[in-house]
Amino acid sequence: MDTINKILVPTDFSDTALNAFRYALMLADKFEADIELLHVIYPEYEALDLPVMAAQATKEKAAAAGEAIKEFVEIGLTQLHATGQLSGVPKINSDVEIGTPASLIADVARRDEVELIVMGTRGEHNALDRFWGSVTTAVVEHTECHVWVVPEHASYHDINVAGFATNLGDADPYHIWEYGKLLAPFHPVLRCAHVNLDSSVEKTLDIAGLSTFFDNHAPALQISFHSLEGETVTEGLEDFIQSFEIDVLAMYVPKHSWWDRLFRRSETKNMALHSKIPLLMLKH
């Protein structure tokens, strides 16, 4: 995927979602993309003998959500215009769907051929399962497009240094190359890192091999590779983010086992919980 043409922004109208919307507006401005706002409401359920009342209640919730989206858009645009950060207003469409959020977000992204989902996440004061559980985890796992996760207090600024956390998989050269093309409008420096937990010489050689590959095949790309050490993946990546002033950290998410393995590890969940910078989950 070379370009981003459409960005899906799920919203529950919270301050966290509003921050993600502002962030998405800036991304859309940079990518010259459209934005689709999505709010999902649960259907009302009543006793079997009251289906008409249940349907009416659901209809009223949908109508109220439609009005809330209009206000939500107005607030987000007003806030950004006040800062002078937004050079132009992207095309914004809104959608209210009835059902279960996680599955509907993935379905809408697929139906509308969305290339990127931007989602806000809450931080330390929430339970871990609420942060990386249910909706966000399910969306990342089941959607076919990239997911840009924005912590609640992460404000947008130009991406000067982009990080990539590699597990040294065979396809990593391709994913890193695609990541570089995705962020081409920002012209960032790319820094790729692997946390070598057991100080393995083999892993150190692997990261050196990646560096040599890009030196030979993409000498014009501003890219560097780093073999990190730490007691945990979290510690290593946090040091990496701070040392190199990373603006966004990306990692590739295969469809099944690697995602489960990665996010069932408390250390990596802990990194996500405390991350102060956006995380980009790459798919495909």
pLDDT band at 133 (very low <50, low <70, confident <90, very high): very low
261-283 pLDDT tens trace? 555 555 555 565 667 899 998 88
Taking residues 62-69, report their average pLDDT.
86
Which regions of the chain carry the CATH code 3.40.50.620?
6-151, 161-277
CATH architecture of 161-277: 3-Layer(aba) Sandwich (3.40)
Write down the mean pLDDT value for the chain: 81
Tell me which residue has tokens 């969940």: 269
DSSP class of 192: E
The Cα 43–Cα 108 span in angstroms is 17
The Cα 20–Cα 14 span in angstroms is 10
Taking residues 117-144, report their average pLDDT.
68
Phi-psi region of 148 (alpha: psi -120 to 50; beta: other; left: phi over 0): beta
* Angle 210-211-214 from CA coordinates, rounded to 5°: 85
* CATH 3.40.50.620 correct for 6-151: yes
Query: pTM for this structure?
Result: 0.85
Query: Of 111, 149, 94, 115, whose CA–CA distance to 32 is shortest?
Result: 115
Q: Write the CB contacts of 269 (distance below 8 Å, at least 6 apart in sequence).
A: 128, 132, 263
The Cα 239–Cα 233 span in angstroms is 10
pLDDT band at 112 (very low <50, low <70, confident <90, very high): very high
DSSP-based three-state secondary structure for 103: helix
Taking residues 1-18, report their average pLDDT.
89
Query: Of 237, 247, 240, whose CA–CA distance to 280 is shortest?
Result: 247
210-243 pLDDT tens trace? 777 777 766 567 899 888 887 888 888 889 999 9
Q: In what order do the strands lie in the sheet with 34-41?
A: 92-98, 34-41, 6-10, 116-121, 146-151, 279-282, 248-252, 161-165, 189-195, 223-228
Q: What is the pLDDT of residue 179?
A: 92
